[in-house]
């Protein structure tokens, strides 16, 4: 009888400790970390809930950085490409026109804006996923930063922080 009571007490103590650890994980302060892509092309600030999910076998060619956060329901993807000679003369305005024609005709382009040094656009492929993208060009090289979010938080503070914290080194793209 005494062993049974000790077993029940120890079970409840373990349960209380487990619940306490889970509660701490949910309310712990967000710590920013600097994430640098494998090739060193892009550096950005992400909070500690993001995990590297990059895999050379599963990731598309040109993937520089692939991070996911279950806590925020977000994936951050940065990819690069060296443009073919025929496309190197295109400006951001030319790419804007192509994106408007391509994605606009399919009804998934929510907004597009030509900014000082990049093209900013938002796509919505289905009801619960949006992708906020920034497209950068430099000397025949292109980098696209995309934040895919399951929740409809297009202008959330975290997305804006991620987008504004990204720094690129185009000279390392080969």
Predicted confidence (pLDDT) per residue in 16-47, tens digit: 887 776 666 665 555 566 777 767 778 888 88
Q: Say which CATH topology domain 31-172 has.
A: Protein Transport Mog1p; Chain A (3.40.1000)
- Dihedral, 47, 53, 59, 62 alpha carbons, nearest 10: 40
Domain ranges of the chain: 1-30, 31-172
Q: Which of 64-68, 93-97, 156-160 has the lowest mean pLDDT?
A: 156-160
Which residues lie closer than 8 Å to 163 by C-beta, 6 or more apart?
A: 120, 132, 134, 145, 147
pTM: 0.76
Examine the pLDDT at 53 and tell me if it is beyond 70: yes
């Amino acid at each position: 009888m005494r062993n049974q009571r000790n077993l029940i007490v120890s079970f409840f103590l373990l349960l209380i400790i487990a619940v306490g650890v889970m509660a701490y994980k949910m309310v712990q302060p967000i710590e920013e970390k600097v994430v640098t892509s494998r090739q060193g092309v892009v550096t950005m600030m992400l909070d500690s809930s993001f995990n590297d999910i990059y895999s050379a076998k599963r990731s598309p060619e040109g993937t520089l950085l692939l991070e996911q956060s279950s806590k925020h329901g977000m994936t951050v993807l940065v990819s690069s490409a060296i443009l073919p000679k025929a496309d190197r003369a295109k400006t951001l305005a030319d790419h804007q026109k192509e994106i408007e024609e391509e994605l606009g005709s399919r009804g998934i382009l929510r907004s597009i804006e030509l900014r000082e040094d990049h093209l900013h656009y938002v796509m919505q492929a289905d009801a619960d996923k949006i992708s906020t993208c920034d497209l950068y060009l430099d000397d025949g090289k292109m980098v696209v930063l995309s934040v895919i979010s399951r929740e409809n938080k297009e202008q959330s503070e975290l997305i804006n922080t991620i987008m504004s914290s990204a720094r690129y080194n185009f000279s390392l793209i080969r």
